[in-house]
Every structure is written in structure tokens, then in C-alpha cells.
Amino acid sequence: MLKLQHIDLGSIDESRISELVRFKVETPVRYEGDINYWRQGVEFPSEQLASNKEVAIQARITIPESQLTAGEFHFNMEWAIECL
């Protein structure tokens, strides 16, 4: 099971994070959802992982340009993997 433990988008309002961020993991099956979906945890068989057993997580953050300042944008995440 892959589970999002924590996410910090810096200066972005915490109450809006769930509507701004989506994650996707592609195995033979695509798993995609918002922060709440990943906080609940997503279970998938280990056979669906690549041969190196690595998981690639893609993130899409939708923030209007008017809310961004010039320069770099950093965000931090913490994920947990539980073997069931």
C-alpha cells in the first residue's frame, strides 16, 4: 500500500491544497487521485510494479499564475509504503 503521509506547498493556503494537487502512479493499471485519495492509501499488487520494484509518482499542481511569485517553487512530501 502506498500512502501519502504529509505534503507542504510552502505559502499555498493549506485548505486549498486538496483541490490543487493530483498524483498519478502508472503500473499496468493507472492510479490517479487527489490528496485525500492518496492519504487513504492505495493498494496494488507487487506484480504490477516494474522489474526494479520502483514506483514513479507524478504530481500535477494547478495554481493560477496570479498566485505565484517569481522564482523557484518547492514542495515537500512524505510517503509511506506498507507491505500487506
pLDDT digits (tens, 9 = 90+) for 23-80: 999 888 899 999 999 999 999 887 887 777 788 899 998 877 777 777 777 788 999 9
46 three-class SS:
helix
The total of structural domains in the chain comes to 1
Residue 69, pLDDT score: 72
pTM above 0.85, yes or no: no
Place 13 in a pLDDT band, splitting at 50, 70 and 90.
low
Q: Domain limits at 50?
A: 2-81
Distance separating the N- and C-terminal Cα atoms of the chain: 7
- Is the Cβ–Cβ distance between 27 and 57 less than 8 Å? no
